[in-house]
Chains A and B, each alone.
Chain A
Amino acid sequence: MIQAIRRFFIDRDYLDIETPLRVPTLAPEANIDAVPSDGWFLQTSPELCMKRLLAAGYSKIFQISKCFRGAERGRLHVPEFTMIEWYRSGADYRNLMDECEDLVLFVAEQLDRDGTVTFRGRSIELEKPWERISVRDAFLRYTPVTMEEALADDSFDEVMVTDIEPRLGRGTPTFLYDYPASRAALARKKKDDQTVAERFEIYMGGLELANAFSELTDPDEQRRRFDEEQEYRRQAGRTVYPPAEKFLQALANMPAAAGIALGIDRLAMIFTDSASIDDVVAFAPEEL
Protein backbone atom coordinates (compact mmCIF):
# COMPACT_ATOMS: atom_id res chain seq x y z
CA MET A 1 0.00 0.00 0.00
CA ILE A 2 2.78 2.40 0.92
CA GLN A 3 4.63 1.58 -2.30
CA ALA A 4 1.50 2.50 -4.23
CA ILE A 5 1.20 5.76 -2.35
CA ARG A 6 4.81 6.72 -3.05
CA ARG A 7 4.40 5.74 -6.70
CA PHE A 8 1.35 8.02 -7.00
CA PHE A 9 3.20 11.08 -5.74
CA ILE A 10 6.47 10.44 -7.50
CA ASP A 11 4.61 10.03 -10.80
CA ARG A 12 3.13 13.47 -10.16
CA ASP A 13 6.55 15.05 -9.56
CA TYR A 14 6.28 15.42 -5.83
CA LEU A 15 9.51 15.42 -3.85
CA ASP A 16 9.73 12.69 -1.17
CA ILE A 17 11.28 14.57 1.74
CA GLU A 18 12.32 13.76 5.32
CA THR A 19 12.27 16.33 8.10
CA PRO A 20 13.45 15.93 11.72
CA LEU A 21 11.22 14.04 14.12
CA ARG A 22 12.63 15.76 17.19
CA VAL A 23 11.95 19.49 17.16
CA PRO A 24 12.16 22.48 19.52
CA THR A 25 8.81 24.07 18.70
CA LEU A 26 5.40 22.99 17.51
CA ALA A 27 2.27 24.49 16.09
CA PRO A 28 0.28 24.82 19.29
CA GLU A 29 -3.12 23.16 19.14
CA ALA A 30 -5.79 23.21 21.77
CA ASN A 31 -6.19 19.47 21.95
CA ILE A 32 -2.95 17.91 20.82
CA ASP A 33 -0.22 17.16 23.36
CA ALA A 34 3.32 16.53 22.25
CA VAL A 35 5.58 13.85 23.70
CA PRO A 36 8.59 15.59 25.26
CA SER A 37 12.07 14.55 24.20
CA ASP A 38 14.94 15.79 26.33
CA GLY A 39 13.90 19.44 26.32
CA TRP A 40 12.55 19.33 22.79
CA PHE A 41 9.53 17.43 21.44
CA LEU A 42 8.69 14.58 19.12
CA GLN A 43 6.70 15.99 16.22
CA THR A 44 2.91 15.76 16.32
CA SER A 45 3.06 16.34 12.59
CA PRO A 46 5.72 17.53 10.12
CA GLU A 47 3.62 20.55 9.18
CA LEU A 48 5.91 23.34 10.31
CA CYS A 49 8.97 21.94 8.54
CA MET A 50 6.97 21.13 5.43
CA LYS A 51 5.64 24.67 5.21
CA ARG A 52 9.12 26.11 5.68
CA LEU A 53 10.15 24.01 2.67
CA LEU A 54 7.25 25.44 0.69
CA ALA A 55 8.45 28.90 1.66
CA ALA A 56 11.95 27.94 0.50
CA GLY A 57 10.63 27.20 -2.99
CA TYR A 58 9.81 23.48 -3.03
CA SER A 59 6.40 23.48 -4.58
CA LYS A 60 5.24 19.85 -4.39
CA ILE A 61 6.39 17.84 -1.41
CA PHE A 62 5.29 14.79 0.52
CA GLN A 63 6.48 12.92 3.56
CA ILE A 64 5.50 9.64 5.17
CA SER A 65 6.60 9.79 8.76
CA LYS A 66 5.86 8.77 12.32
CA CYS A 67 3.91 11.26 14.42
CA PHE A 68 3.65 11.22 18.19
CA ARG A 69 0.76 12.37 20.35
CA GLY A 70 0.37 12.11 24.09
CA ALA A 71 -2.58 10.45 25.83
CA GLU A 72 -4.22 9.17 22.69
CA ARG A 73 -4.88 5.45 22.92
CA GLY A 74 -7.97 3.57 21.86
CA ARG A 75 -9.32 1.30 19.18
CA LEU A 76 -8.42 3.87 16.53
CA HIS A 77 -5.48 5.58 18.19
CA VAL A 78 -1.92 4.66 19.03
CA PRO A 79 0.41 7.29 20.48
CA GLU A 80 2.97 6.68 17.71
CA PHE A 81 1.40 6.40 14.28
CA THR A 82 2.24 6.86 10.62
CA MET A 83 1.00 9.76 8.58
CA ILE A 84 1.53 11.04 5.08
CA GLU A 85 1.46 14.80 4.58
CA TRP A 86 1.57 16.38 1.17
CA TYR A 87 1.57 20.01 0.07
CA ARG A 88 1.08 21.73 -3.24
CA SER A 89 1.81 25.38 -4.00
CA GLY A 90 -0.81 27.19 -5.97
CA ALA A 91 -3.52 24.74 -5.01
CA ASP A 92 -6.46 25.09 -2.67
CA TYR A 93 -8.40 22.54 -0.67
CA ARG A 94 -10.73 21.76 -3.53
CA ASN A 95 -7.80 20.68 -5.69
CA LEU A 96 -6.75 18.39 -2.87
CA MET A 97 -10.16 16.75 -2.77
CA ASP A 98 -9.74 15.74 -6.41
CA GLU A 99 -6.23 14.50 -5.69
CA CYS A 100 -7.45 12.36 -2.77
CA GLU A 101 -10.05 10.68 -4.89
CA ASP A 102 -7.34 9.88 -7.45
CA LEU A 103 -4.91 8.69 -4.77
CA VAL A 104 -7.29 6.25 -3.11
CA LEU A 105 -8.53 4.91 -6.43
CA PHE A 106 -4.94 4.43 -7.60
CA VAL A 107 -3.98 2.60 -4.42
CA ALA A 108 -7.08 0.41 -4.63
CA GLU A 109 -6.23 -0.47 -8.20
CA GLN A 110 -2.63 -1.32 -7.29
CA LEU A 111 -4.01 -3.58 -4.57
CA ASP A 112 -6.25 -5.31 -7.11
CA ARG A 113 -9.49 -4.05 -5.66
CA ASP A 114 -12.32 -3.53 -8.09
CA GLY A 115 -13.09 0.07 -7.15
CA THR A 116 -14.85 -0.88 -3.93
CA VAL A 117 -13.70 -1.72 -0.47
CA THR A 118 -15.58 -3.51 2.29
CA PHE A 119 -15.24 -1.93 5.69
CA ARG A 120 -17.28 -2.37 8.87
CA GLY A 121 -19.82 -4.49 7.07
CA ARG A 122 -20.42 -2.03 4.25
CA SER A 123 -19.34 -1.85 0.68
CA ILE A 124 -17.82 1.54 -0.11
CA GLU A 125 -17.64 2.65 -3.74
CA LEU A 126 -14.39 4.49 -4.44
CA GLU A 127 -15.40 5.86 -7.85
CA LYS A 128 -15.56 9.62 -8.22
CA PRO A 129 -17.21 11.79 -7.26
CA TRP A 130 -17.23 11.21 -3.50
CA GLU A 131 -19.88 12.77 -1.27
CA ARG A 132 -19.16 16.39 -0.31
CA ILE A 133 -21.02 18.03 2.60
CA SER A 134 -20.24 21.08 4.70
CA VAL A 135 -20.03 20.87 8.50
CA ARG A 136 -22.94 23.28 8.79
CA ASP A 137 -25.11 21.12 6.52
CA ALA A 138 -24.03 17.94 8.31
CA PHE A 139 -25.31 19.39 11.56
CA LEU A 140 -28.60 20.31 9.92
CA ARG A 141 -28.96 16.93 8.27
CA TYR A 142 -27.90 14.61 11.06
CA THR A 143 -28.38 16.39 14.38
CA PRO A 144 -31.06 18.31 16.27
CA VAL A 145 -28.72 21.29 16.76
CA THR A 146 -26.99 23.72 14.46
CA MET A 147 -23.21 24.00 14.16
CA GLU A 148 -23.34 27.40 15.88
CA GLU A 149 -25.42 26.06 18.79
CA ALA A 150 -23.05 23.14 19.31
CA LEU A 151 -20.07 25.49 19.36
CA ALA A 152 -21.77 27.81 21.81
CA ASP A 153 -22.53 25.11 24.37
CA ASP A 154 -19.27 23.22 23.82
CA SER A 155 -20.99 20.06 22.57
CA PHE A 156 -19.46 20.28 19.07
CA ASP A 157 -17.02 17.38 19.49
CA GLU A 158 -19.53 15.10 21.14
CA VAL A 159 -22.17 15.73 18.52
CA MET A 160 -19.59 15.08 15.80
CA VAL A 161 -18.60 11.76 17.33
CA THR A 162 -22.09 10.58 18.26
CA ASP A 163 -24.34 11.87 15.51
CA ILE A 164 -22.30 12.89 12.49
CA GLU A 165 -19.17 10.78 12.06
CA PRO A 166 -20.94 7.40 12.03
CA ARG A 167 -23.10 8.60 9.15
CA LEU A 168 -20.24 9.72 6.94
CA GLY A 169 -18.47 7.74 4.27
CA ARG A 170 -21.03 4.98 3.98
CA GLY A 171 -21.85 4.16 0.35
CA THR A 172 -18.98 6.33 -0.80
CA PRO A 173 -16.21 8.24 1.04
CA THR A 174 -17.29 11.66 2.32
CA PHE A 175 -15.50 15.00 2.32
CA LEU A 176 -16.70 17.00 5.31
CA TYR A 177 -15.65 20.58 4.61
CA ASP A 178 -15.73 24.17 5.88
CA TYR A 179 -15.11 23.71 9.57
CA PRO A 180 -15.68 26.54 12.07
CA ALA A 181 -12.69 28.90 12.00
CA SER A 182 -11.97 28.15 15.65
CA ARG A 183 -11.35 24.50 14.73
CA ALA A 184 -8.76 25.18 12.05
CA ALA A 185 -5.96 27.28 13.43
CA LEU A 186 -3.66 26.70 10.47
CA ALA A 187 -6.25 27.07 7.72
CA ARG A 188 -7.19 30.07 5.64
CA LYS A 189 -10.62 31.49 6.43
CA LYS A 190 -13.18 31.41 3.66
CA LYS A 191 -13.35 34.70 1.80
CA ASP A 192 -17.12 35.03 1.74
CA ASP A 193 -17.72 33.49 5.15
CA GLN A 194 -15.17 34.29 7.79
CA THR A 195 -16.86 32.09 10.39
CA VAL A 196 -15.52 29.01 8.64
CA ALA A 197 -12.12 27.95 7.37
CA GLU A 198 -11.14 26.07 4.23
CA ARG A 199 -10.59 22.78 5.97
CA PHE A 200 -11.93 19.34 5.10
CA GLU A 201 -11.72 15.86 6.49
CA ILE A 202 -12.25 12.55 4.73
CA TYR A 203 -14.41 9.83 6.25
CA MET A 204 -14.80 6.26 5.10
CA GLY A 205 -17.23 3.98 6.91
CA GLY A 206 -17.42 6.47 9.76
CA LEU A 207 -13.64 6.41 10.18
CA GLU A 208 -11.78 9.72 10.03
CA LEU A 209 -8.99 9.31 7.56
CA ALA A 210 -7.45 12.67 6.64
CA ASN A 211 -7.40 16.38 7.42
CA ALA A 212 -6.66 19.08 4.85
CA PHE A 213 -6.51 22.86 4.50
CA SER A 214 -6.04 25.69 2.15
CA GLU A 215 -3.07 26.90 4.16
CA LEU A 216 -3.05 30.17 6.06
CA THR A 217 -0.18 32.30 4.81
CA ASP A 218 -0.70 35.52 6.76
CA PRO A 219 1.93 35.48 9.53
CA ASP A 220 0.10 38.02 11.68
CA GLU A 221 -3.13 36.11 11.59
CA GLN A 222 -1.26 32.84 12.18
CA ARG A 223 0.49 34.33 15.20
CA ARG A 224 -2.85 35.47 16.60
CA ARG A 225 -4.43 32.09 16.11
CA PHE A 226 -1.44 30.36 17.69
CA ASP A 227 -1.83 32.69 20.66
CA GLU A 228 -5.48 31.71 20.96
CA GLU A 229 -4.58 28.03 20.98
CA GLN A 230 -1.85 28.63 23.58
CA GLU A 231 -4.28 30.60 25.74
CA TYR A 232 -6.80 27.77 25.60
CA ARG A 233 -4.04 25.36 26.65
CA ARG A 234 -2.86 27.65 29.42
CA GLN A 235 -6.33 27.90 30.87
CA ALA A 236 -6.80 24.16 30.71
CA GLY A 237 -3.54 23.70 32.61
CA ARG A 238 -1.78 22.08 29.64
CA THR A 239 1.81 22.64 28.50
CA VAL A 240 2.30 25.84 26.59
CA TYR A 241 4.82 25.33 23.79
CA PRO A 242 7.67 27.68 22.86
CA PRO A 243 6.62 30.02 20.02
CA ALA A 244 7.42 28.81 16.51
CA GLU A 245 9.30 31.95 15.51
CA LYS A 246 11.27 30.62 12.53
CA PHE A 247 8.10 29.15 11.11
CA LEU A 248 6.20 32.42 11.47
CA GLN A 249 9.00 34.30 9.75
CA ALA A 250 9.14 31.76 6.92
CA LEU A 251 5.38 32.01 6.52
CA ALA A 252 5.76 35.47 5.01
CA ASN A 253 7.50 33.80 2.05
CA MET A 254 5.13 30.91 1.69
CA PRO A 255 3.07 30.90 -1.52
CA ALA A 256 -0.64 30.08 -1.48
CA ALA A 257 -0.81 26.35 -1.01
CA ALA A 258 -2.92 23.49 0.22
CA GLY A 259 -1.80 20.63 2.41
CA ILE A 260 -3.20 17.43 3.82
CA ALA A 261 -2.39 14.81 6.45
CA LEU A 262 -3.70 11.27 5.96
CA GLY A 263 -3.44 8.44 8.48
CA ILE A 264 -1.61 5.54 6.88
CA ASP A 265 -2.59 3.12 9.66
CA ARG A 266 -6.21 4.16 9.21
CA LEU A 267 -6.02 3.62 5.46
CA ALA A 268 -4.56 0.19 6.12
CA MET A 269 -7.48 -0.54 8.46
CA ILE A 270 -9.86 0.27 5.64
CA PHE A 271 -8.12 -1.87 3.06
CA THR A 272 -7.89 -4.81 5.49
CA ASP A 273 -11.31 -4.29 7.08
CA SER A 274 -9.71 -4.24 10.52
CA ALA A 275 -11.67 -3.45 13.66
CA SER A 276 -8.73 -2.02 15.56
CA ILE A 277 -5.57 -0.11 14.75
CA ASP A 278 -3.73 -2.77 16.75
CA ASP A 279 -4.43 -5.12 13.84
CA VAL A 280 -2.40 -3.03 11.40
CA VAL A 281 0.64 -1.98 13.44
CA ALA A 282 3.56 -4.35 14.01
CA PHE A 283 3.51 -3.73 17.77
CA ALA A 284 1.00 -1.87 19.92
CA PRO A 285 2.68 0.02 22.79
CA GLU A 286 1.46 -2.53 25.33
CA GLU A 287 3.20 -5.31 23.41
CA LEU A 288 6.64 -3.77 23.75
Chain B
Amino acid sequence: MYSASDLRKNLKIQIDGEPYVIVDFEFSKPGKGQSLYRCKLKNMITGNQFDRTFRSVDTFEPASLEEKKMQYLYREENKYCFMDNETYEQVFLAEDQLEDARNFLIENLDVEILFFGDKALGITLPNFIDVTVTKADPWAKGDSVTGKTKPVEVETGYTVQVPPFVEEGEKIRIDTRTGEYITRVKD
Protein backbone atom coordinates (compact mmCIF):
# COMPACT_ATOMS: atom_id res chain seq x y z
CA MET B 1 0.00 0.00 0.00
CA TYR B 2 1.19 3.49 -0.75
CA SER B 3 0.79 6.28 1.75
CA ALA B 4 0.17 9.91 0.90
CA SER B 5 3.85 10.75 1.21
CA ASP B 6 4.60 8.28 -1.63
CA LEU B 7 2.46 10.24 -4.06
CA ARG B 8 4.38 11.74 -6.96
CA LYS B 9 4.06 12.32 -10.69
CA ASN B 10 3.92 9.09 -12.74
CA LEU B 11 2.93 6.92 -9.80
CA LYS B 12 0.29 4.36 -10.80
CA ILE B 13 -2.48 3.61 -8.33
CA GLN B 14 -5.74 1.74 -8.38
CA ILE B 15 -9.03 3.41 -7.51
CA ASP B 16 -12.32 1.48 -7.59
CA GLY B 17 -10.65 -1.30 -9.52
CA GLU B 18 -9.30 0.94 -12.28
CA PRO B 19 -5.68 1.91 -12.93
CA TYR B 20 -4.72 5.60 -12.76
CA VAL B 21 -1.46 7.39 -13.36
CA ILE B 22 -0.69 10.67 -11.58
CA VAL B 23 -0.03 13.18 -14.33
CA ASP B 24 0.34 16.19 -12.09
CA PHE B 25 1.11 16.53 -8.41
CA GLU B 26 1.38 19.37 -5.95
CA PHE B 27 2.14 19.23 -2.21
CA SER B 28 0.42 22.04 -0.35
CA LYS B 29 0.35 22.96 3.30
CA PRO B 30 -1.39 26.14 4.36
CA GLY B 31 0.22 27.56 7.51
CA LYS B 32 -0.60 25.39 10.56
CA GLY B 33 -2.96 23.42 8.36
CA GLN B 34 -3.01 19.86 7.09
CA SER B 35 -0.77 18.58 4.37
CA LEU B 36 -2.72 18.38 1.15
CA TYR B 37 -1.64 16.20 -1.74
CA ARG B 38 -3.27 17.56 -4.87
CA CYS B 39 -3.25 15.19 -7.82
CA LYS B 40 -4.43 15.16 -11.38
CA LEU B 41 -5.26 11.54 -12.15
CA LYS B 42 -5.60 9.96 -15.57
CA ASN B 43 -7.48 6.72 -16.08
CA MET B 44 -5.06 4.46 -17.94
CA ILE B 45 -7.87 2.68 -19.76
CA THR B 46 -10.31 5.44 -20.68
CA GLY B 47 -7.90 8.37 -20.65
CA ASN B 48 -10.34 10.43 -18.53
CA GLN B 49 -8.71 12.89 -16.17
CA PHE B 50 -9.89 14.28 -12.88
CA ASP B 51 -8.49 16.19 -9.92
CA ARG B 52 -8.47 14.95 -6.39
CA THR B 53 -6.89 16.19 -3.17
CA PHE B 54 -5.67 13.59 -0.70
CA ARG B 55 -4.72 13.91 2.96
CA SER B 56 -1.86 12.42 4.99
CA VAL B 57 -4.08 9.67 6.34
CA ASP B 58 -5.10 8.38 2.92
CA THR B 59 -3.61 5.16 1.57
CA PHE B 60 -3.57 3.82 -1.95
CA GLU B 61 -3.42 0.49 -3.68
CA PRO B 62 -0.68 0.20 -6.26
CA ALA B 63 -2.21 -0.49 -9.68
CA SER B 64 -1.86 -4.19 -10.41
CA LEU B 65 -0.03 -3.79 -13.64
CA GLU B 66 2.07 -6.35 -15.39
CA GLU B 67 4.57 -6.10 -18.18
CA LYS B 68 4.80 -8.93 -20.70
CA LYS B 69 7.46 -9.47 -23.30
CA MET B 70 5.88 -9.49 -26.74
CA GLN B 71 6.84 -9.05 -30.34
CA TYR B 72 5.42 -6.62 -32.84
CA LEU B 73 3.82 -8.46 -35.74
CA TYR B 74 1.92 -6.13 -38.05
CA ARG B 75 -0.45 -3.22 -38.39
CA GLU B 76 -4.07 -3.34 -39.50
CA GLU B 77 -5.33 0.20 -40.22
CA ASN B 78 -4.80 1.92 -36.87
CA LYS B 79 -4.50 -1.19 -34.74
CA TYR B 80 -1.12 -2.73 -34.04
CA CYS B 81 -0.72 -6.42 -33.33
CA PHE B 82 1.70 -7.87 -30.77
CA MET B 83 2.32 -11.51 -29.96
CA ASP B 84 3.63 -13.37 -26.95
CA ASN B 85 6.23 -15.80 -28.36
CA GLU B 86 5.59 -18.43 -25.74
CA THR B 87 1.83 -18.50 -25.50
CA TYR B 88 1.14 -17.19 -29.03
CA GLU B 89 -1.38 -14.90 -27.37
CA GLN B 90 -2.07 -11.81 -29.51
CA VAL B 91 -3.14 -8.32 -28.43
CA PHE B 92 -3.92 -5.16 -30.30
CA LEU B 93 -2.98 -1.66 -29.25
CA ALA B 94 -4.59 1.39 -30.80
CA GLU B 95 -2.64 4.28 -32.30
CA ASP B 96 -3.41 6.66 -29.43
CA GLN B 97 -2.23 4.10 -26.89
CA LEU B 98 1.09 3.83 -28.68
CA GLU B 99 1.61 7.57 -29.18
CA ASP B 100 5.10 8.13 -30.60
CA ALA B 101 6.09 4.48 -30.21
CA ARG B 102 4.40 3.67 -33.49
CA ASN B 103 7.23 5.45 -35.32
CA PHE B 104 9.68 2.85 -34.08
CA LEU B 105 7.89 -0.43 -34.61
CA ILE B 106 9.86 -2.68 -36.89
CA GLU B 107 8.81 -6.22 -37.69
CA ASN B 108 9.46 -8.69 -34.86
CA LEU B 109 10.70 -5.97 -32.53
CA ASP B 110 10.87 -7.19 -28.91
CA VAL B 111 8.89 -4.89 -26.65
CA GLU B 112 7.14 -4.91 -23.29
CA ILE B 113 3.42 -4.46 -23.21
CA LEU B 114 1.82 -3.08 -20.07
CA PHE B 115 -1.29 -4.97 -18.97
CA PHE B 116 -3.94 -4.27 -16.42
CA GLY B 117 -5.56 -7.65 -16.06
CA ASP B 118 -6.16 -8.60 -19.66
CA LYS B 119 -6.32 -5.03 -20.97
CA ALA B 120 -3.27 -3.87 -22.90
CA LEU B 121 -2.55 -0.27 -21.88
CA GLY B 122 0.82 0.76 -23.18
CA ILE B 123 4.21 -0.16 -24.50
CA THR B 124 7.84 0.11 -23.47
CA LEU B 125 10.27 0.06 -26.38
CA PRO B 126 13.91 -0.93 -26.28
CA ASN B 127 16.05 2.24 -25.92
CA PHE B 128 17.56 1.85 -29.38
CA ILE B 129 16.37 0.37 -32.66
CA ASP B 130 18.21 -0.19 -35.92
CA VAL B 131 16.20 0.76 -38.99
CA THR B 132 16.79 0.96 -42.71
CA VAL B 133 16.70 4.32 -44.47
CA THR B 134 14.14 4.05 -47.23
CA LYS B 135 14.26 7.54 -48.70
CA ALA B 136 17.18 9.92 -48.67
CA ASP B 137 18.60 12.59 -50.89
CA PRO B 138 21.99 11.50 -52.22
CA TRP B 139 25.14 12.98 -50.70
CA ALA B 140 27.37 14.93 -53.01
CA LYS B 141 30.79 14.16 -51.57
CA GLY B 142 32.03 17.66 -52.06
CA ASP B 143 29.25 18.89 -49.80
CA SER B 144 31.02 19.04 -46.48
CA VAL B 145 29.17 21.84 -44.73
CA THR B 146 29.57 21.18 -41.02
CA GLY B 147 26.59 21.00 -38.69
CA LYS B 148 24.03 20.53 -41.45
CA THR B 149 21.57 17.68 -41.28
CA LYS B 150 19.05 16.34 -43.74
CA PRO B 151 15.73 14.60 -43.24
CA VAL B 152 15.40 10.98 -44.29
CA GLU B 153 12.55 8.51 -44.12
CA VAL B 154 13.02 5.12 -42.51
CA GLU B 155 11.17 1.85 -42.98
CA THR B 156 8.47 2.71 -40.44
CA GLY B 157 7.54 5.87 -42.28
CA TYR B 158 9.18 8.06 -39.64
CA THR B 159 11.27 11.02 -40.70
CA VAL B 160 14.48 11.76 -38.84
CA GLN B 161 17.31 14.30 -39.16
CA VAL B 162 20.66 12.71 -39.99
CA PRO B 163 24.15 13.82 -41.07
CA PRO B 164 24.51 14.39 -44.81
CA PHE B 165 26.61 11.24 -45.43
CA VAL B 166 23.77 8.86 -44.56
CA GLU B 167 22.52 7.17 -47.73
CA GLU B 168 19.38 5.37 -48.82
CA GLY B 169 19.56 1.66 -48.02
CA GLU B 170 21.86 2.16 -45.02
CA LYS B 171 20.92 1.10 -41.52
CA ILE B 172 20.90 3.65 -38.70
CA ARG B 173 20.38 3.48 -34.96
CA ILE B 174 17.69 5.69 -33.40
CA ASP B 175 17.13 6.46 -29.71
CA THR B 176 13.46 5.68 -29.17
CA ARG B 177 13.29 7.95 -26.12
CA THR B 178 14.22 11.07 -28.07
CA GLY B 179 13.52 10.00 -31.64
CA GLU B 180 17.02 11.09 -32.63
CA TYR B 181 19.70 9.62 -34.87
CA ILE B 182 22.60 8.07 -33.01
CA THR B 183 24.92 6.44 -35.54
CA ARG B 184 25.13 4.36 -38.70
CA VAL B 185 25.06 0.61 -38.21
CA LYS B 186 27.05 -1.87 -40.26
CA ASP B 187 25.23 -5.12 -40.96
Give the B-binding residues of A (Cβ under 8 A). 29-32, 71-77, 156-158, 160-162, 165, 179, 183-184, 201, 208, 211, 236
Contacts and interface: CB of A to CB of B under 8 A. Distances in A.
Nearest to B38: A161
B141 interface: no
Interface string B101-136: 000000000000000000000000000000000000
A140 B31 CA distance: 20
Contact of B27 (A73, A160, A179, A208): A73
Interface string B28-70: 1111111110100000000000000100110000000000000
A31 B27 contact: no
A61 B26 CA distance: 36
The 7 closest A-B CB pairs, nearest first, are: A74-B27, A157-B33, A160-B30, A161-B28, A157-B34, A211-B31, A31-B34
Given A71-B5, A158-B36, A158-B53, A31 B26 contact: no
A160 B36 CA distance: 11
B100 to A, nearest CB: 27
Nearest to B27: A74
Contacts of B34: 31, 157
A183 B33 contact: yes
Interface-centre pick from A71, A75, A211 (highest chain B CB count, 10 A): A71
Contact of A72 (B26, B32, B35): B35
A72 B34 CA distance: 11
Nearest to B33: A157
A162 B56 CA distance: 17
B27 A236 contact: no
B9 to A, nearest CB: 12
Contact of B31 (A71, A74, A75, A201): A201
A208 B5 contact: no
A160 B35 CA distance: 12
B7 to A, nearest CB: 10
Interface-centre pick from B5, B31, B32, B34 (highest chain A CB count, 10 A): B31
B57 A74 contact: no
Nearest to A209: B31
A224 B136 CA distance: 81
Contacts of B53: 158, 162
